[in-house]
Chains A and B, each alone.
Chain A
Amino acid sequence: MIEFPDAPAVARRAVLKGAVAGGLAGLGLGAFPFPAFADADAKEWPGDAFKVKSEADALKALYGKSAEASDKVSLDAPEIAENGAVVPIAVASTLPNVTGIAILVLENPNVLAAAYKIPAGTQASVANRLKMAKTTKVVAVVESGGKLYSATKEVKVTVGGCGG
């Protein structure tokens, strides 16, 4: 004769299993044991490029070249930014073999705001939010096939993003 454990014990075990699974999920673990992913590495950070004051210097530090304007780089930026601390900026491109995107805010103390590495198989498109100290030109640069292409827009900033 098959014996069944009594109902309360089964219920207790189910609750405990759920709690452990919930706890693990709460830690953000997708599977256990999880594969060895590498972590973000600070050595990748191009510190020098983030300290320069001019567009030309930033591109030279990042890519070792300069950019030419292209209508295949699309830069989505608001005409007027109500809050300079959080300005939504999106960049996309139809150019082939895009390996990098950089965004420069020319009136900021340091012009390079962000740079992105685009491996093969990843779309040439990124959306982020940047701080802008005051009304400024924003330059989006796309590295494609070893060359740099850019698009520029002016963003009017009503309340500066430096907390002043």
Chain B
Amino acid sequence: MAGTIRVRATASGDATEVQSLIRHPMDSGFVKDAKGELIPAHHIEVVQFEHGGKTVFTALWGPAVSKDPYLKFSFKGGKAGDELKVSWVDNKGASDSLVTKIQ
């Protein structure tokens, strides 16, 4: 799955605030389709954020995280122009990643 990640990382003082939106169905496995059959669970399991060769945040998600999941967090360090990498992997082994520049 490519092109699923949208992220905005903004440096202010010595902190960088990161907001991300990932396009993903996050099917819980509890919902039935029009035919009455269960739609199998298909959800992101791990999201990782890296800056300067170091992991700054890791999200461990279950099927209860909403569809097209949004996330916001902040870390120290990081300045405008630095790179931030976001990557995720789901329960089917699909993945995507994006490198963005902190603003």
Docked-complex contact B66 and A131, CB < 8 angstroms: yes
Docked-complex contact B65 and A129, CB < 8 angstroms: yes
Interface of A, helix, strand, loop or mixed by DSSP? loop
Contact of A109 among B30, B75, B76 (CB under 8 A): B30
Which residues of B, 1-39, contact A by the 8 Å Cβ criterion?
3, 5, 15, 28, 30-32
CB within 8 Å for A125 and B66 given contacts A28-B100, A39-B89, A44-B58 = no
Cβ proximity bits B84-103 to A, threshold 8 Å, 1 near / 0 not: 01011101010101111100
Which residues of B, 48-102, contact A by the 8 Å Cβ criterion?
48, 50, 53-67, 69-77, 83, 85, 87-89, 91, 93, 95, 97-101
A-B residue pair count with CB separations less than 8 angstroms = 149
Docked-complex contact B65 and A119, CB < 8 angstroms: no
Contacts of A96 in B (CB 8 A): none
- Interface stretch of the complex, out of A3-11, A12-20, A30-38, A143-151: A30-38
Docked-complex contact B62 and A39, CB < 8 angstroms: no
Contacts of B88 in A (CB 8 A): 40
Docked-complex contact B28 and A162, CB < 8 angstroms: yes
Minimum CB–CB distance for B83 against chain A, Å: 5
Docked-complex contact A41 and B46, CB < 8 angstroms: yes
A42 within 8 A of B: yes
Docked-complex contact B74 and A122, CB < 8 angstroms: yes
Contacts of A129 in B (CB 8 A): 65-66, 69-70
Minimum CB–CB distance for B18 against chain A, Å: 10
Docked-complex contact A40 and B46, CB < 8 angstroms: yes
Docked-complex contact A35 and B53, CB < 8 angstroms: yes
- For the A-B complex with A35-B53, A42-B46, A163-B32 known, give 5 more contacts whose Cβ atoms are closer than 8 Å: A123-B15, A128-B71, A131-B28, A163-B30, A163-B31
Going nearest first, the 5 A-B pairs with the smallest beta carbon separation are A163-B31, A113-B64, A117-B58, A40-B48, A127-B72
